[in-house]
Amino acid sequence: MTTDISQSILDALTDVDMPRLAPEPPFPEITNVDGQRLPTYRCGCVVLGSGAAGLRAAVELKRRGGDVVVVSQSAWGGTSACSGSDKQTLHTANTSDQGDNYTSMARAIRAGGAMDEDTAYIEAVGSGRAMASLQYLGLPLPQDELGGTLRYQTDHDEVGRATSCGPRTSRLMVRVLAEEALRLGIPIFNQTTGLRLLTDGTGDNRRVAGLLAIRSRDRSADNPLGVCVFQCPVIVLAAGGPGELYRDSVFPNGCFGSLGMALEAGIEVTNITEAQFGISTRREGFPWNLSGTYVQVIPHIYSVDGSGAERHFLGDYYRTTQEMASNIFRKGYQWPFHATRMLDFASSLVDLAIFRETQSGRRVFMDFNRNPLPVPGDRPFSLARLDPDVSTYLRNAGAVQALPIDRLRHMNPLAIELYRRYKVDIAADPLEFSVNNQHMNGGVKVDIWGQSSLAGVYAVGEAAGTHGVTRPGGSALNAGQVFGTRAAEHIAASGTADTAPKGDLSGLVADAVTAVTGLLNRDSPLTHADVREAVQARMSDNVGIICTPETVAAARTDAARLNADIRAQGMSFNRPAEVGRVVQWQQMALVSEAVITALDHYIEGGGGSRGARAICETGGEALPMARSGPLEGFRFRTEKPAHQAEQIVVRWTGEGFDLSTRPNRTFDETAKAFFERDWPDWLTGGIYTARTQTPAKG
């Protein structure tokens, strides 16, 4: 039986309106640079990015007396506000019915390796506070009649620590945090694109001093590019991941992140070889992840060639209809591609099959009005013939309806309603999709408080390299809330952001403006559109889920050549409005080279297949099988356990990349807190300066 949910409830959870921005404060000063008059604003801290992690940092810092502003390229237009999945997940500690505790949760978060153990524990122990504070602000997480939060299983999560408000969970998080930011009077400078970090000093005394940005509304005769200055001793990078890095991407358009800006400032980044790829609709239409109930209802998946002929391609890969249907279902909570799941006829064989179809020029669809066709020669699909984990889940959910669309309408009507908002009726028409890039697991290298290697710069959310090879679904949203709070606590304890700084930065500003204008060359043969095409094609075609040592090495050479050409020739532009995009694509080209350089370094060091990618070669130890036989072209290296215990660190020197490895920070799970002994460190602020390992067991 399907419970009817009123249209008003469906509307409230899919059409999530965002609050109106308050008027911006004026820029009270002018910095004169080579005859240009640049509006200047002084503050204690700039949070760059208006997503869930950035707003959390801003709100928590303001509550602690910080002089903080938010700078955003497009308020409410980033990944947090515009991306999601069937019932987008917030991953937090669960109640005892799932046998959970903070230590076991931390182990699950870091299970894929290449992740600091203390970071995983911090995310686990901070998750309850993060969830409770969001509920206090009005996030409508579902509860049972006794007040327990409803839970389910998700990616890399065998316990069931996931909860959700529906497909718009992160947008709802942004809304409640935005409302709080506005209530607290935090200035939000919208349509303002960060260009470069301003830094002062040298060596160990080097620190951030401000941000050079660009705003179309500030263009004038004496400021033709619309450049402006934020003078501040603290910056929190919270602009998300480099979503424009791939052509085949589920990121919303225009998500550049701040990784290129961080690299240019000499900030160390880590784990940028690690990412997530999975099935989704692409950005050309309505970009959305097809995890959870979209596949748990087991729709028919097929491809179409140029003549319109359908091809039941999954029938070539799985041995039985039951095996095929069960692994379509498992994409619901095994959504990201993982190399090892191509083996033993597991769920990532679905991803590989879809990848091969699209590489062959065929379009792939899922049809919710048809059950899967049978594997040739096998019995037809039946809900009575599914693997035990699948049949148990569907039976417990009451999803025993005859057709996928009816099962979906029963399990998650919001999933249907969401696509309707974007003029796609999956109840009537098949849905086109593919395998796309979805998340950067690496980013700025940070400590246990979110501090980067450059004094005064913090990173939170997807900008921070706090994830390892894999992560439970929804743990990224939790990590952004936990580290947004911790960064704010650390900044407040230091007192550096309490008041606006004094002093003259005109020299630093002049150098930054020169770096930007030096990139602009109307006679250059390179345009930002050219750079975009080159970067995205190289990443999608050579650095996606299937790689070879040869193609990655060649891509590294090509990426380095592109950046050398940009440095030598600059980039052309037609009008001042393009300058921001020119700088962003120059930085994206640098990020691309950094990612490929790190991946090539990893492969040259014997690195094997894990998480995001399969490293395929003739001598690979692992061989995926299909019903038709071995898939020799996709034989791949296996991962070396030693690589799980370390991270690759990358730093741009201005002339090239320095690469090194460091061991994961370890964590003593047996250490215990003792109240009278440890309370003084809290009272005196010692916890912010002295590294301790005194956690209570979860």
| Model confidence at 169: pLDDT above 50 | yes
User: Residue 430 is inside which H or E element, if any?
Assistant: none
pLDDT > 70: what percent of the chain?
97
CA-based diameter of the chain, in Å?
79
Token readout for 471 is 């992560």
Phi-psi region of 455 (alpha: psi -120 to 50; beta: other; left: phi over 0): beta
Residue 12 buriedness (CB in 10 A; 0-12 / 13-18 / 19+) = middle
* Of 124-138, 282-296, 485-499, 503-517, minimum mean pLDDT range: 282-296
Length of the chain (residues)? 698
pLDDT band at 162 (very low <50, low <70, confident <90, very high): confident
Q: Are 241 and 79 in contact (CB under 8 A)?
A: yes
Among 40, 72, 46, residue whose Cα is nearest residue 218: 40
Q: What is the pLDDT of residue 698?
A: 39
Among 452, 510, 466, residue whose Cα is nearest residue 266: 452
pLDDT digits (tens, 9 = 90+) for 551-594: 999 999 999 999 999 999 999 999 999 999 999 999 999 999 99
| Model confidence at 245: pLDDT above 70 | yes
Among 443, 240, 437, residue whose Cα is nearest residue 336: 437
Q: What is the pLDDT of residue 2?
A: 55
What CA–CA distances, in Å, run from 481 to 79, 102, 428, 452?
15, 17, 38, 17
> What average pLDDT score do residues 319-339 get?
95
Q: Give the contacts of 32 (CB within 8 A, at least 6 positions apart).
A: 38, 506
How far from chain centre, in Å, is Cα 523? 36
Q: What is the pLDDT of residue 202?
A: 92
Residue 586 and residue 190: Cα distance in Å, rounded? 22
pLDDT band at 265 (very low <50, low <70, confident <90, very high): very high
pLDDT digits (tens, 9 = 90+) for 280-319: 998 888 888 998 899 999 999 999 999 999 999 999 999 9
Q: Are 258 and 414 in contact (CB under 8 A)?
A: no
Residue 219 and residue 456: Cα distance in Å, rounded? 29
Q: Give the contacts of 125 (CB within 8 A, at least 6 positions apart).
A: 102, 106, 695, 698
> What average pLDDT score do residues 104-123 get?
93
Q: Give the contacts of 434 (CB within 8 A, at least 6 positions apart).
A: 248, 279, 280, 282, 354, 358, 364
What CA–CA distances, in Å, run from 463 to 77, 294, 444?
16, 29, 6
pLDDT digits (tens, 9 = 90+) for 25-78: 999 999 999 999 999 999 999 999 999 999 999 999 999 999 999 999 999 888
**Angle, alpha carbons 467-469-472 (nearest 5°):** 65
| Model confidence at 430: pLDDT above 60 | yes
Q: What is the pLDDT of residue 3?
A: 60
Q: What is the mean pLDDT of the chain?
A: 93
pLDDT digits (tens, 9 = 90+) for 446-475: 999 999 999 999 999 999 999 999 888 788
Among 499, 35, 467, 518, residue whose Cα is nearest residue 270: 467
Q: Are 301 and 372 in contact (CB under 8 A)?
A: yes
10 Å Cβ neighbour count for 481? 30
pLDDT band at 93 (very low <50, low <70, confident <90, very high): confident
Higher pLDDT, 501 or 611: 501
Among 145, 147, 258, 266, residue whose Cα is nearest residue 200: 266
Q: What is the pLDDT of residue 624?
A: 98
User: Residue 294 is inside which H or E element, if any?
Assistant: helix 293-296
Q: Are 313 and 302 in contact (CB under 8 A)?
A: yes
Residue 361 buriedness (CB in 10 A; 0-12 / 13-18 / 19+) = exposed
Q: What is the pLDDT of residue 156?
A: 75
Q: What is the pLDDT of residue 695?
A: 40
How far from chain centre, in Å, is Cα 291? 16
Q: What is the pLDDT of residue 696?
A: 39
| Model confidence at 10: pLDDT above 80 | no
Give the up-direction half-sphere exposure of residue 460: CA atoms within 13 A in the CB hemisphere.
Answer: 35
* Of 13-17, 340-344, 416-420, minimum mean pLDDT range: 13-17
Q: Which domains, and CATH codes, for the chain?
A: 38-277+441-507 (3.50.50.60), 289-438 (no CATH), 520-646 (1.20.58.100)
pLDDT band at 151 (very low <50, low <70, confident <90, very high): confident
Q: Give the contacts of 327 (CB within 8 A, at least 6 positions apart).
A: 318, 345, 346, 347, 349, 350
Residue 544 and residue 562: Cα distance in Å, rounded? 19
pLDDT digits (tens, 9 = 90+) for 529-548: 999 999 999 999 999 999 99
> What average pLDDT score do residues 173-191 get?
97
Residue 488 and residue 60: Cα distance in Å, rounded? 6
Residue 68 buriedness (CB in 10 A; 0-12 / 13-18 / 19+) = buried
Q: What type of residue sits at position 25?
A: P
Name the residue with tokens 């790190």.
598
Residue 96 buriedness (CB in 10 A; 0-12 / 13-18 / 19+) = exposed
pLDDT digits (tens, 9 = 90+) for 621-676: 999 999 999 999 999 999 999 999 999 999 999 999 999 999 999 989 888 889 99
pLDDT band at 209 (very low <50, low <70, confident <90, very high): very high
Q: What is the pLDDT of residue 165?
A: 84
